[in-house]
Amino acid sequence: MFKVPLTALAFLALGTASANAATYTGTVQVAITVQVKSSVPAGQKFICGVSINVYDPSAGGQGPYTGASVEKTASGGVLKCEVDIPYSWAIGTDMASVSASWSVSEGTMETGASRNIRNGLTGFTPTKNGTTRLTVTGTM
């Protein structure tokens, strides 16, 4: 684990790759747009998060895992978050696949009330060098 600003928490845990692993380097960019229809206090902060799991058959299934989150405030009933996840993964096969999920949550310490939304993203094949852009929408 390494230190990053509280508004951009990130973490990385590497799985075990085979001796013939290739390095996949790039960025996953996820644009999250949520219509906020719940009653929330003015200036309420939201946490938008993305988790990525790599399935690497050559490593017995579980490959690298990474994720990141950002803190944002909604404007005009719309929350827009951009979550960028740079990566450098050692993957042992071109048959690897990636699954990802996203979430948005908010809560108040005064009342203990909270709301969240989460869902999966379309799976994709990791690129050896490049950017993967994903877009999601939701309502909370």
Residue 1 lies in a domain: no
Mean pLDDT along residues 66-88: 92
| pLDDT score recorded for residue 28 | 93
* C-beta separation of 53 from 100 below 8 A: yes
The answer, yes or no, to whether residue 93 has pLDDT greater than 60, is yes
pLDDT at 16: 44
- Of 61, 51, 57, which is closest to residue 10 (Cα–Cα)? 51
% of the chain beyond a pLDDT of 90: 34
Of 45, 43, 32, 35, nearest in space to 107 by CA: 45
Largest CA distance in the chain: 53
Number of domains in the chain: 1
Q: Give one DSSP letter per residue of 57-106, joined into a string.
A: GGGTEEEEEEEEEEEEE-BTTEEEEEEEEEEEEEES-TT-EEEEEEEEEE
Question: Mean pLDDT of all residues in the chain?
Answer: 80
What does the angle CA 132 – CA 51 – CA 128 come to, to the nearest 5 degrees? 35
Q: What would the mean pLDDT of 64-81 be, rounded to a whole number?
A: 91
C-alpha to C-alpha distance for 95 and 82, rounded to whole angstroms? 28
Give the whole-angstrom CA distance, residue 92 versus residue 76: 46
Residue the block writes with tokens 């380097």: 25
Q: Looking at residue 59, what is its pLDDT?
A: 75
**Has residue 121 been placed in a domain?**
yes
Residue 89: give its domain's CATH number.
2.60.40
What range does the domain containing 108 cover?
6-139
At residue 14, does pLDDT exceed 60? no
Question: What span, in angstroms and rounded, lies between the C-alpha atoms of 55 and 53?
Answer: 7
pLDDT above 90 (res 140): no
Is residue 132 situated within a structural domain? yes
**Confidence check: pLDDT of 80 > 80:** yes
- Check whether 6 has a pLDDT greater than 50: no
Question: What pLDDT does residue 124 have?
Answer: 84
Above 70 in pLDDT, residue 78? yes
Q: Record the pTM.
A: 0.77
Q: What is the mean pLDDT of residues 89-98?
A: 83
